[in-house]
């Protein structure tokens, strides 16, 4: 039996009919063609599928789409909508050389966003802890940690600039 759900993804509203077994990851990638969200292990271990649901980080491979009715979802495509500048977290990953194959990157960036929204000045240990559910097989983690530190500074500078211009 199909279930009707209504979800907002990156600000756009979708009304979909989904099978009860379908995951959020499948809906994003297969039904909405938002393939920035990756599928790695499929068992909640690698973090490649991380998205934000109502502002909280979630492994989309373990989340049933039917549970998403009425929720707001942010994927990596929503960090920098087409035609807009990269998000500071994305710029940081580029600046710091924190990307090799890029498979882990969308999940890492969403986890980093979740961290920085809740803790704008994290220590190195807090960054490592926040990203501990996201595995990278390429870079080693030092560049990724440096990228999050860089992004934290950028976001704080942007915030104080916008506060001053009010
Ligand atoms: S694909 Fe979801 S945690 Fe690995
Ligand atoms: S850059 Fe390849 S898995 Fe992280």
Q: Which of 79, 109, 137 is the last residue of a domain?
A: 79
Number of structural domains in the chain = 2
Q: For residue 7, tell me if it sits in a domain.
A: yes
What's the CA-to-centroid distance between 128 and ligand 2, angstroms? 16
**Are the CB atoms for 76 and 32 separated by under 8 Å?**
no
Per-residue buried b or exposed e for 28-56, using 16+ beta carbons within 10 Å of the residue's own CB? bbeebebebbbbbeeeeebbbbbbbbeee
Backbone angles phi, psi at 18, to 5 degrees: -125, 150
Give the domain range for residue 134: 88-160
With a 6 Å cutoff on the Cβ, whether 49 touches ligand 1 is yes
Residue 94 has pLDDT above 90, yes or no: yes
Residue 107 has pLDDT above 80, yes or no: yes
50 and 98 in one domain?
Answer: no
Over residues 31-58, the mean pLDDT reads 98
93 and 42 in one domain?
Answer: no
pLDDT in tens, 125-135: 999 999 999 99
With a 6 Å cutoff on the Cβ, whether 99 touches ligand 2 is yes
Token pair of 142, please?
């030092």
141 and 93 in one domain?
Answer: yes
- The CATH number covering residue 96 comes to 1.10.150.120
Residue 73's pLDDT band (cuts 50, 70, 90): very high
- The CATH number covering residue 46 comes to 3.10.20.30
With a 6 Å cutoff on the Cβ, whether 48 touches ligand 1 is yes
With a 6 Å cutoff on the Cβ, whether 139 touches ligand 2 is yes
Residue 140 has pLDDT above 90, yes or no: no
Q: For residue 166, tell me if it sits in a domain.
A: no
Residue 147 has pLDDT above 80, yes or no: yes
Q: Strands 3-9 and 72-74: what pairing?
A: parallel
The residue written with tokens 């934000």 in the block is 52
Residue of the CA atom closest to atom 3 of ligand 2? 136
């Amino acid at each position: 039996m199909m279930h009707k759900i209504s979800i907002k993804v990156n600000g756009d509203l979708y009304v979909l009919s989904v099978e009860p077994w379908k995951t959020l990851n499948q809906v994003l990638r297969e039904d909405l063609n938002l393939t920035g969200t990756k599928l790695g292990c499929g068992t909640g271990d690698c973090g490649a599928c991380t998205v934000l649901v109502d502002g909280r980080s979630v492994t989309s491979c373990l989340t049933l789409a039917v549970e998403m009715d009425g929720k707001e979802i942010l994927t990596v495509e929503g960090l920098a909508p087409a035609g807009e500048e990269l998000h500071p977290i994305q710029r940081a990953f580029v600046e710091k050389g924190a990307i090799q194959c890029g498979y882990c990157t969308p999940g890492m960036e969403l986890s980093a966003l979740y961290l920085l929204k809740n803790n704008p000045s994290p220590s190195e240990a807090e960054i490592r802890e926040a990203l501990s559910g996201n595995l990278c097989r390429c870079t080693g983690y030092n560049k990724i940690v440096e990228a999050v530190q860089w992004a934290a500074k950028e976001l704080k500078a942007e915030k104080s600039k916008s506060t001053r211009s009010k």
